[in-house]
């Protein structure tokens, strides 16, 4: 490996240490329905986002709530001894990508068949902490 490549790899590794994320893979919900839930919590403070997800009537909110709790646990494992309330954690990024699609056939009239696509998705949540300097500059 060349020196430039090694340096850039080390920089990426250091940047990943400051990122707190959780990933949910192959969730059997359509990406369109999951994006509705993801849009609800994007940019929110963590405690407020948990409340919104807990009292949401959408089925996808249960999976996202669990995923957000996992991201918080990942943050706690990297920052031992720091309280969540003092850190000003917020949901910096949430994105939903399409995953595998199960293709099924449903009988149709006159001997035909219609294809049914059962979709699934991948969800990624990234957390970040708001610094006092960032809040003053806005």
Token pair belonging to 81: 């001894």
Summarize pLDDT for 50-103 with one digit per residue, the tens: 999 999 999 999 999 999 999 999 999 988 888 888 889 999 999 999 999 999
What's the token pair of residue 111? 């001997």
At 101-128, the pLDDT tens digits run 999 999 999 999 999 999 999 999 999 9
What CA–CA distance (Å, rounded) separates 45 from 48?
5
Calculate the alpha carbon distances from 60 to 28, 31, 66, 67, 68 in Å.
9, 10, 10, 11, 13
């Amino acid at each position: 490996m060349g020196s430039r490549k090694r340096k850039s790899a080390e920089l990426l590794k250091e940047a990943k240490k400051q990122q707190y994320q959780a990933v949910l893979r192959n969730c059997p919900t359509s990406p369109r329905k999951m994006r509705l839930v993801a849009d609800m919590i994007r940019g929110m403070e963590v405690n407020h986002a948990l409340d919104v997800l807990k009292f949401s009537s959408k089925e996808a909110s249960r999976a996202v709530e669990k995923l957000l709790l996992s991201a918080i646990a990942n943050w706690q494992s990297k920052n031992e001894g720091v309280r969540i309330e003092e850190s000003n954690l917020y949901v910096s990024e949430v994105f939903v990508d399409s995953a595998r699609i199960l293709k099924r056939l449903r009988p149709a009239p006159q001997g035909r068949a219609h294809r049914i696509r059962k979709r699934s998705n991948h969800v990624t949540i990234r957390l970040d902490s708001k610094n006092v300097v960032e809040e003053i500059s806005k």
